[in-house]
Amino acid sequence: MNEDLLAKISQEVESREAELIELLTALIAFPTVSPPARNTNEVQNFIKDYLEDLGFNTDKWEVYPGDANVVGVLSGKSPVGFNSLIVNGHVDVAEVGDHSDWEESPFSAYCKEGHIYGRGVADMKGGIAASLLAIKLLKEMGISLQGDLQFQSVIGEEVGEAGTLACMERGYTADYAVVVDTSDLHIQGQGGVITGWITIQSKETHHDAMRRKMIHAGGGVKGASAIEKMMKIISGLQELERHWAITKNYEGFPAGTNTINPAVIEGGRHAAFVADRCALWVTVHFYPDEDYEEVIKEIEQHIGAVAAADPWLRENPPQFVWGGKSMIVDRGEIFPSLEIDANNPGTKALANSFEKLLTYQPTVGMSTTVTDAGWLGRAGIPTAIFGPGKLEDAHAVNEKVEIRQLLDFTKVLAVFIAEWCNTRKEQ
């Protein structure tokens, strides 16, 4: 792309600042809070219409009642020989809670001192609005694409409902993907997260009065409190967590980022009984070069050894249930990890577009949070997280994003789309 066209795209974005703010304000006005979720159909219809006006063929389907994905495909002129691209973003936003600490309504976006405020401006309707505008200006400038461009507007990211996974299961793919989630314009990969339930269930239930016979010499009752036995499991998890901290590492992450958090414990049935059941809900963070299935195996093997060393747990071993498709429906979630390959042609092209437009090199590294990007990577699609907004502003009271950053992101993405989708596939 020559310098004149780069300058023209940059100028075009600058001239459309008011249009960008208007589009983002419209998206923020849809209160797509999750939880409770089941509230995204209206905003998805808005995005579907926007894409269709730009010539996209669209596919809209409900992942859950009231929560639909929208995928738009703009067919390239020569898709067999040229690179295809997915631009991905989620329309659900974090809980708001008590509105009293907000300067104005969370769903009435407003501008102040170079920022736009509102729930979701940083995470991540700002990225969606800027992406849509980038695509629109390319069309209006007459810049055609040889490869296919796909826009995925998904649901459920805030509560692990993995609308992006539903896109993968529906067969959508491309040569590269950009998840336009909160990254402060850094090009990023991520670690992963999986939740799990570890449950101890006694084969017998004993009245509270039997406890003396279960714990004192000569009592003769081979029983135990599931709550007390869970203490051994928790201790075993802590030992494994410490082992991981000293034996595993990944560049870009502080030591010990791979944690096992005993987040919720549920046990017992009544004060008149010895607890015959106890369930522990854990959250496990792992590194970008680890797969959650291997992490699960490590934990189960270690806890299996802990249980084998205990006479009662050997006969009442802990049971495991991992992951899930919704923190709302089945109280579980998975966010696969994502390694970022700085030498991948797509990543290099994105970084090159960044440098051309903003005249400095982008930061390529790792996100300290998790996004849907891992599902794209797990499907075999080279992927990067790249979007406007800072993590400290995401989910925050008076959530904000810098307008200058929105404009810069729009420029970079527009140029990247134009260059990537007009580059021949590598043989």
Can you read off the two tokens belonging to residue 381? 């699609």
Strands across the sheet containing 115-117: 110-112, 115-117, 400-402
Of the residues 12, 67, 92, 402, which is catalytic? 92
Predicted structure pTM score:
0.95
What is the band of 243 on the pLDDT scale with cuts at 50, 70, 90?
A: very high
Least confident of 217-226, 358-367, 382-391: 217-226
* pLDDT given for residue 426 in this prediction: 85
* pLDDT given for residue 220 in this prediction: 81
Q: How far apart are CA 140 and CA 136, in angstroms?
A: 6
Average pLDDT over residues 276-281: 98
What is 3-191+338-420's CATH number? 3.40.630.10
Q: How far apart are CA 250 and CA 62, in angstroms?
A: 38
At residue 18, does pLDDT exceed 90? yes
177 touches 376 (CB < 8 A)? yes
Among left, alpha and beta (phi > 0; psi -120 to 50; other), residue 346 is alpha
| Start-end of H helices in 334-389 | 345-358, 373-378
Q: How far apart are CA 23 and CA 18, in angstroms?
A: 9
Of the residues 157, 241, 276, 393, which is catalytic? 157
Average pLDDT over residues 268-275: 94
Positions of CATH 3.30.70.360 in the chain: 192-322
Can you read off the two tokens belonging to residue 172? 């959508």
What is the band of 329 on the pLDDT scale with cuts at 50, 70, 90?
A: very high
Q: How far apart are CA 154 and CA 91, in angstroms?
A: 6
What DSSP line would sit under 166-180, residue for residue? HHHHTT---SEEEE-
214 touches 226 (CB < 8 A)? no
- Kindly give the interhelix angle for 126-140 and 41-53, rounded to the nearest 10 degrees: 20
Q: How far apart are CA 147 and CA 175, in angstroms?
A: 10
Average pLDDT over residues 325-345: 96
DSSP conformational letter for 101? G
* pLDDT given for residue 214 in this prediction: 85
Q: Which residues contact 113 (CB under 8 A, 6 or more apart)?
A: none
Q: How far apart are CA 395 and CA 385, in angstroms?
A: 18
Amino acid at 234: I
Can you read off the two tokens belonging to residue 332? 């579980």
* pLDDT given for residue 97 in this prediction: 84
* pLDDT given for residue 221 in this prediction: 83
pLDDT, tens only, 66-90: 999 999 999 999 999 999 999 999 9
Q: How far apart are CA 76 and CA 87, in angstroms?
A: 15
367 touches 190 (CB < 8 A)? yes
Amino acid at 398: N
pLDDT, tens only, 166-195: 999 999 999 999 999 999 999 999 999 999
Q: Which CATH number fits domain 192-322: 2.60.40.10, 3.40.30.10, 3.30.70.360, 3.40.309.10?
A: 3.30.70.360
Amino acid at 150: Q
Q: How far apart are CA 409 and CA 131, in angstroms?
A: 8
* pLDDT given for residue 427 in this prediction: 57
What is the band of 216 on the pLDDT scale with cuts at 50, 70, 90?
A: confident
* pLDDT given for residue 218 in this prediction: 86
Strand partners, 335: 193
Cα R_g (the chain), whole angstroms: 25
Positions of CATH 3.40.630.10 in the chain: 3-191+338-420
Percent of the chain, pLDDT > 90? Answer: 94
* Among candidate residues 332, 336, 246, 260, the one with its CA nearest the CA of residue 303: 260
Mean pLDDT for the chain overall: 96
Percent of the chain, pLDDT > 70? Answer: 100
- Catalytic annotation present for 92: yes
